[in-house]
Amino acid sequence: MHKLVFKEGKRIAAFLDKCKDISRIPYTNETTDKRGVWLCKDDGIYVMPSTGERFSNDVVYASGYHAESEGCWDATYNVSPDDFAEFVSLTDNQIDNLRRGSDLTINISEETMEVIA
């Protein structure tokens, strides 16, 4: 199990407020009525708005997984050797906690994902 901690809860909540009306499922044209973010792993591990825009400057990196940090490649490879994007659904309560500045924590393994905010 890998623990990913995203320290900018208020900024993540702003993503959600920005894309209230649409959340897209990665790699598809499908949308969902659930609210959430994309968890992405390529050059680092980060969350971004789930608006479906292919590229976004609105990203929050997990602590220790910033693309420019030393050892990032090894750290991200340990989470997954493959790049990925996953939709992470958040409850209204979790979003409220993020607005108040809580961290977003995602515990992830090959089989499970636990989201805490």
Domains of the chain (ranges; CATH) run 2-116 (3.10.150)
Q: How far apart are CA 22 and CA 16, in angstroms?
A: 10
Q: Please compute the mean of the pLDDT values over residues 36-54 and round it to a whole number.
A: 85
Share of the chain above pLDDT 90, in %: 62
The two tokens of residue 5 are: 């901690």
Spatial contact of 72 and 44, defined as CB atoms under 8 Å apart: yes
Query: Mean pLDDT across the stretch 81-88?
Result: 94
Across the chain, mean pLDDT equals 89
Q: What is the mean pLDDT of residues 99-116?
A: 95
pTM for this entry: 0.89
pLDDT at residue 55 is higher than 70: no
Print burial letters for 46-81: b (CB count within 10 Å at least 16), e (below 16): bbbbbbbeeeeebbbbbebbbeeeeebeebbeebee
pLDDT in tens, 8-21: 999 999 888 877 66
